[in-house]
């Protein structure tokens, strides 16, 4: 296998010594200094992806538009401080994510609070902090949030999440806009209209400034969506519904969020994708639908997450053993505790040897043809703990460094202490300098919350 440069961060290079570097930093040296498993993020790649989205949307959509980073993919103070000056908004889905954002100094007015079952405490936290939008999901939440806003004496802008009944070709766990989903309210059942009316026809409070202000609609059809047709269908259905609500309920949509879900490539075999082109198409679809249904262009919010941070990071592991059998398992010092996606979604990854990245794949000496193929296995007590099922490599040796690209999203965000594992350290690299932004956990950290 040749080095898959297009899957690695923009600044990835292979030196004459075979060492892989990112951001001008030698990964072998970083592993020696910070240990493994180690996650290495390239700041330049994050900024390039975010900037490409921002510029594409600004060029394609002549009204106000915002790129809103979907924090559930990966959230950390260093990342928010990097993105905030770029003018991005932020999508959070829990009180914890909101707390991290506020502690990092991210502007509250640029925060959108999503979620299908926000607690009263979370809603009070969001209202008190002055978040820009709360995306309401159901009638119970509307009633609860209305009470919270009245008690706080504020006008809280909200978007209503719609389930558009659009199916997509992705993993079942990643589809969120189909008819059978826990997210949002369906149009054809009448619940979407009922929620619109519940908000716009709510009885006037004693304090007229305290209310819910319905601004428009939100939809998210899923993740790793490669086709444009589902986005087009979702946007068109939202505008048709908005036109209906204009006539039937007197509500005029001013904002529209078609969500995110733009795909990334994880392995060389994945088809090439250009998410910025998809954003341009979504913007064009919104323009055409607005014209068709007689709307001024609403404010448009796009919510990429994975496609900004996934390509920006590499996960580094140290080889502990190489075991030949029905297949050759290369065991590393991480696995499903820091990356549960292969076990949960059947997600595919590839890998290279970071200390021998310039060597070609080759068979073990004296072995049968095809022995240049390996499985990268984790160290945890599950048969499904295999990070890479099949990859061609030079024959790995104990002590080698395995680098897995496209590791920036939904790995650290979903990491656990399974088997009492220590969650890994995180380093950010830029211009030849590395900065530790999250230390490796210690055994004492495992017991920090225990009180008995």
Half-sphere exposure of 413 (CA within 13 A, CB side): 23
Instruction: Please count the other Cβ atoms lying within 10 Å of the Cβ belonging to residue 6.
Output: 12
User: CA nearest 67: which of 46, 51, 48, 47?
Assistant: 51
| 261 token code pair | 């879900």
Q: Which H or E run includes 236?
A: helix 229-248
Q: Which H or E run includes 326?
A: none
Residue pair 367/322 in contact (Cβ under 8 Å)? The answer is no
The sign of the torsion formed by the CA atoms of 354, 14, 438, 80 equals negative
Angle CA 178–181–187, to nearest 5: 65
Half-sphere exposure of 163 (CA within 13 A, CB side): 22
Q: Which H or E run includes 405?
A: none
Distance, CA of 258 to CA of 239 (rounded, Å): 11
Torsion of CA 409, 410, 414, 417, to 10 degrees: -50
| 38 token code pair | 């180690």
**Catalytic residue (choose from 5, 58, 194, 381):** 381
Burial 349-384 (b: 16+ CB within 10 A, else e): bbbbbbbbbeeebeeeeeeeeebbebbbbbbbeeee
Residue pair 193/126 in contact (Cβ under 8 Å)? The answer is no
Establish whether 381 is a catalytic residue: yes
- Quick one: angle between helices 275-293 and 43-60, nearest 10? 30
Residue pair 256/301 in contact (Cβ under 8 Å)? The answer is yes
Pairing of strands 299-302, 65-70: parallel
The sign of the torsion formed by the CA atoms of 13, 17, 18, 23 equals negative
Concatenate the DSSP letters of all residues of 200-232 into one string: HTPPPPSSTT-EEEEEEEE---BSS---SHHHH
CA-based end-to-end distance of the chain:
52
> Can you point out the beta strands (E) in 292-384?
299-302, 313-323, 328-332, 352-353, 373-377
In the block, which residue shows the tokens 């969500």? Answer: 259
Catalytic site positions? 381
């Amino acid at each position: 296998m040749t080095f898959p440069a297009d899957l690695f961060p923009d600044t990835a290079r292979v030196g004459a010594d075979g060492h892989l570097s990112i951001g001008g930093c030698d990964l072998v040296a970083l592993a020696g200094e910070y240990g493994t498993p180690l996650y290495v993020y390239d700041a330049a790649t994050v900024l390039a992806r975010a900037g490409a989205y921002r510029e594409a949307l600004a060029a394609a959509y002549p009204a106000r538009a915002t790129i809103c980073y979907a924090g559930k993919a990966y959230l950390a103070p260093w990342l928010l401080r990097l993105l905030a000056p770029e003018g991005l908004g932020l999508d959070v889905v829990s009180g914890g994510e909101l707390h991290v954002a506020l502690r990092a100094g991210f502007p509250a007015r640029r925060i959108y609070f999503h979620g299908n079952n926000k607690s009263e405490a979370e809603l009070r936290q969001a209202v008190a902090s002055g978040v820009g939008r709360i995306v309401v999901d159901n009638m119970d939440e509307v009633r609860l949030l209305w009470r919270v806003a009245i008690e706080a004496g504020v006008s809280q802008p909200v978007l209503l999440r719609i389930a558009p009944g659009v199916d997509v070709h992705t993993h079942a766990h990643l589809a969120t806009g189909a008819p059978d989903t826990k997210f949002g309210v369906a149009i054809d059942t009448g619940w979407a209209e009922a929620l619109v009316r519940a908000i716009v026809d709510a009885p006037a409070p004693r304090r007229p400034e305290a209310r819910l202000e319905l601004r428009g609609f939100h939809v998210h059809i899923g993740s790793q969506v490669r086709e444009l047709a589902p986005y087009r269908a979702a946007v068109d259905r939202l505008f048709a519904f908005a036109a209906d609500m204009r006539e039937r309920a007197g509500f005029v949509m001013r904002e529209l969020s078609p969500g995110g879900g733009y795909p990334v490539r994880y392995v060389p075999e994945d088809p090439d994708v250009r998410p910025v082109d998809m954003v341009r198409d979504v913007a064009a679809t919104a323009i055409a639908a607005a014209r068709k249904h007689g709307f001024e262009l609403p404010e448009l919010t796009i919510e990429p997450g994975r496609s900004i941070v996934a390509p920006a990071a590499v996960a580094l592991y140290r080889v502990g053993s190489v075991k030949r059998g029905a297949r050759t398992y290369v065991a590393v010092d991480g696995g499903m505790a820091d990356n549960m996606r292969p076990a949960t979604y059947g997600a595919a990854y590839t890998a290279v040897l970071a200390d021998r990245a310039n060597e070609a794949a080759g068979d073990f000496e004296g072995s049968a043809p095809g022995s240049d193929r390996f499985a990268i296995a984790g160290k945890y007590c599950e048969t499904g703990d295999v990070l890479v099922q099949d990859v061609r490599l030079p024959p790995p040796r104990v002590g080698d460094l395995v680098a897995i690209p496209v590791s920036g999203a939904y790995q650290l965000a979903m990491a656990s202490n399974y088997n009492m594992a220590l969650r890994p350290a995180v380093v950010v690299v830029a211009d030849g300098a590395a900065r530790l932004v999250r230390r490796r956990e210690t055994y004492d950290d495992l017991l920090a919350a225990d009180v008995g």
